[in-house]
């Protein structure tokens, strides 16, 4: 970093409640920047729960602003993502777009050259493994919830007012698990090889988002 970094340096600071202090994260980042001889060009400071979506947490805005050669720095990983899956996706996107990344608390520093060195490979592999475990746990909880509902005699299936068949019929459980996992609808649509609009209509007509 330092003089060799010709891109911009972005710092992302997020707190969940008014009892926490984003300034502490900012000061920690400033001290790290001073010790490593570089300056932070822009701060995104926000007070919002990690349970909110990426748009509300301004993650989408942040990722759109970052360009090849830029640097993203956070005081700790938990400020950036609400789940292992989201962190894995974000880090993989940073690596692919040749964006440097620093998480101070965890001692993570990705070089942004687009190549996965030992640290980057290990980090992404670890995230991917934990994300898959997390995905399986969500799926198991979803199945357990459906079984419990059946046991209570609740009616499961299409909500009243839904019409016609869909190529997504039978994929409800997968879609629910992905939504609870925090995967973007556009990403789910790509996995199922349908348009985002078709997926959104299916979700609404089946009431999946409220399950």
What residues are labeled active site? Answer: 16
For the chain, how far is it from start to end, CA to CA, in angstroms? 46
How many other C-beta atoms can be found within 10 angstroms of the C-beta atom of residue 34?
A: 10
* Residues paired with residue 10 on neighbouring β-strands, in sequence order: 42, 72
Q: 111 and 100 in contact (C-beta within 8 Å)? A: yes
CB-based burial label for 134 (10 Å; 0-12, 13-18, 19+): middle
CA dist 12 and 20 (Å) reads 15
């Amino acid at each position: 970093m330092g003089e060799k970094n010709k891109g911009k340096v972005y710092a992302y600071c997020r707190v969940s409640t008014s009892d926490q202090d984003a300034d502490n994260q900012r000061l920690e980042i400033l001290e790290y920047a001073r010790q490593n001889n570089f300056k932070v060009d822009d701060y995104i400071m926000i007070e919002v729960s990690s349970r909110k979506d990426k748009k509300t947490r301004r993650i989408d805005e942040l990722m759109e602003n970052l360009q090849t050669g830029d640097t993203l720095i956070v005081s700790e990983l938990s400020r950036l993502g609400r789940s292992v899956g989201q962190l894995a996706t974000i880090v993989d996107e940073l690596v692919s777009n040749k964006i440097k990344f620093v998480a101070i608390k965890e001692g993570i520093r990705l070089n942004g050259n687009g190549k996965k060195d030992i640290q980057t490979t290990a980090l992404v592999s670890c995230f991917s493994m934990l994300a898959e475990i997390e995905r399986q746990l969500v799926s198991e909880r979803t199945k357990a919830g459906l079984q419990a509902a059946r046991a209570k005699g609740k009616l499961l299936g299409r909500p009243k007012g839904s019409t016609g068949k869909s190529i997504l019929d039978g994929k409800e459980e997968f879609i629910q698990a992905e939504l609870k996992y925090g995967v973007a609808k556009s990403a789910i649509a790509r996995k199922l090889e349908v348009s985002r609009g078709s997926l959104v209509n299916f979700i609404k007509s089946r009431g999946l988002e409220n399950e």
